[in-house]
Each structure stands twice: as C-alpha cells, then as structure tokens.
Amino acid sequence: MTTLFNGFNIGPRALSHRVVLAPLTRMRSDDGDIPNDLMVEYYAQRASIGGLLISEATPVSIRGNGYHGAPGIYADSQIDGWKKVVNAVHAKGGLIFMQLFHAGRQSHRDLQPGGDAPLAPSAVSFEGMAHTKSGWQPASAPREITLNEIKVAIDEFRQAAQRALAAGFDGVEIHGANGYLIDQFLQDGSNQRTDAYGGKVENRVRFLLEATEAAVSVFGANRVGVRLSPSGTFGGMSDSNPNLTFGHAAEKLNALGLAYLHVIEPRVAGSQVIEEGAEPVASRALRKVFSGPIIAAGGFDAATAAAAIEAGDADLIAFGRDFIANPDLPHRLRHNLQLNPYNRDTFYGGDHRGYTDYPFAASTLTAA
C-alpha cells in the first residue's frame, strides 16, 4: 500500500497520502441549510494529517437544491457553520475543498422558491427522485433556463466560491457530474438547446467552463478542481458521443491549469456499483488529454486504488462508502486493517446513527 501513502501536491497544498474523502450527500444540516455541530464532528473524524476531504455537494443557489437537509453556501448565514467544519478539519491537520453544485432538473417544486419548476438546460424530464420535507418524491418536470438566468447561475457559482473562501476552505470543486445542472448542459441527452449553450460540443461545454472560471476568479486556478462522470447514467444521463464530449471538456479544463480533475468511473451510479469487476476506464481515457492531477472515484478498494496510481491513470483515489463506515480509513488502509461494513439505510438523512457512530480501529486511537 506504499503507493497510496506517498506524498503529493494539490496546487499549493502538500498531501501526505493519496486517500481522499469523496463528496457524499448526507443531508444532516439544520434549518436554513446551515451546517451544524454533528457535521463538524463527522468531518473532523475523517480528517488526517495531510489528507484531502471534499465536502458534500453544496448548492450555490436556493434554486439549486435537490436534497432537503443538504447544507448550502448560497447565503451568508451559512458561512459560520462551515467555518466550524473547516477549523475542525484544519485542527486535525487535514485539507478540505467545498464541492459546489446546482441540482438543475434533479429537484422538486417543494424545494423551489414559490413552488416553481426546477431549472434545466431544456425541458426534458427524467425518472428520478428528489428529497423533500415529505421524503423522497419523483422529481418535478423542469423548465428551460433562460439566457439571463444562465448569467445569474454562473454568478451564483462565483458568489458561492467567495463564501467558501470566507469560510476558510482550501479550495472548491465544481460538480460537473452525476446528472446535475452542469452535466445536464454537457450531455446531449438532456441538452436540446439551439443557442450558444446547446448543439455542438463547444457550446455544451460552455456552462461548465464559465462556472469553473467564476470559481477561478475567486480562488485562483490551482485551488479549483472539477468533477466529471464520463458515460455515467445516474440522473437519467446519456450522450450520443461521450468520448468526444468529455474529451473536449477535459482538454478545455486542462488549459486552465486547475488543481485537479476528479473523474467518476462509469461502473458506479450514485452509491451503487453497477458493473462489478469492471476496469477503471474513464480516468485512463482522460489522462490522455488532461495533464494535471487526476482523482479517480468509484468502486475502488486498496489494491485497485494502488494499481491505478502505479499505472499512471490517477494520482489520488476518492473513497465514498468505505469512508462513511471507516472514519479512520487512511490508517486502516495503511496498516491493512479490517474495514467496518457500511449501512446503506443511513446514508441519506437522519441523526448520528450511521454518521458519526462508526468505530475507530483500536490502533487509530492509540496512535492519536
């Protein structure tokens, strides 16, 4: 496992290992989408010296939320709660990026101001769910976002990055994956526009680039990452030529000099592995056009993570489900310790159960 525990730099930040906490929707915030003390404990538990954490998907707009209980970064009132999270992670010697997202069509009228329809590149519905105060409900039919609303949405990414900076985050990650708004613009199964944001791939990539550049204007390029899910189907996504679409996106992002590109392998959809034993192909393909650091995610264990790094397909590996159940995952992987099993029923929403009550290994406590 020595490969996973060689040092590495993300922009100006030095990491002591390559095990990354993947962004994981957990839906435990307080009213007003404000981070609370339970969230502080959760992130602090998973921080390690020189380790990188990426926050759960954090809506940049009140219109961008698809999950009741998800913490936001669209209002100044949310900054102080995030400061507590960041300070707790830094106190443990860790680094933390905030993942910025807009759910787009993966939302419900109950989550929208005035009960409006969710926004999307085109009025194309999908058969998926959104989490409301009343629980999981089928997502509402979206309406096409206007050109003026696109400008507003891009500025919301910039303002969200400013708030993340004020909260002390080490950087931000633009969520362009998993069928949310940016991904909806990227892929032609959901983007049927005929203006400057639709049609040919150069136009469909425009929203991603503008949102990323908005964050770069706040943090600088070497403190901004982007997450993509090439050929991912989560959120009802599809594209007629994913190699062209995502290859072009990665090429354009490469020119920005970003902190990293975060790639989700298509063998997973959300929190489910849909192709057991499938090779990690997405990071390998995008490595050909993206010369900066690559974080690979989706279905890795210790052995396959080390193999991907040794092959040069990725520089760091993000873990989700195993990091949920093992707050000391880097320590366990380093010392080849048995992992706690995860409880999928407690992934989304709830209290401390399945969130902050997973046990640490005895040797972790001794080392601490």
What's the token pair of residue 306? 């080390």
Q: Which helix (H) or strand (E) holds 367?
A: helix 362-367
Phi, psi angles (nearest 5°) of residue 91: -65, -25
Angle at 229 between CA 224 and CA 234, to 5 degrees: 130
Alpha-carbon distance of 102 to 59, in angstroms, equals: 5
The catalytic residue among 43, 67, 180, 348 is 180
- CA 189 – CA 222 distance, rounded (Å): 32
State the DSSP code for 298. Answer: S
Question: Left, alpha or beta for 354 (phi > 0: left; psi -120 to 50: alpha)?
Answer: left
d(C-alpha 221, C-alpha 226), whole Å: 11
Q: What are phi and psi of 231, to 5 degrees?
A: 65, 15
| Three-state DSSP class for residue 20 | strand
Task: Indicate the SS3 state at residue 30.
Answer: strand
Is 74 a catalytic site residue? no
Radius of gyration of the CA atoms of the chain, in A:
19
DSSP string, 195-231: STTSSSHHHHTHHHHHHHHHHHHHH-GGGEEEEE-TT
The residues assigned a catalytic role are: 180
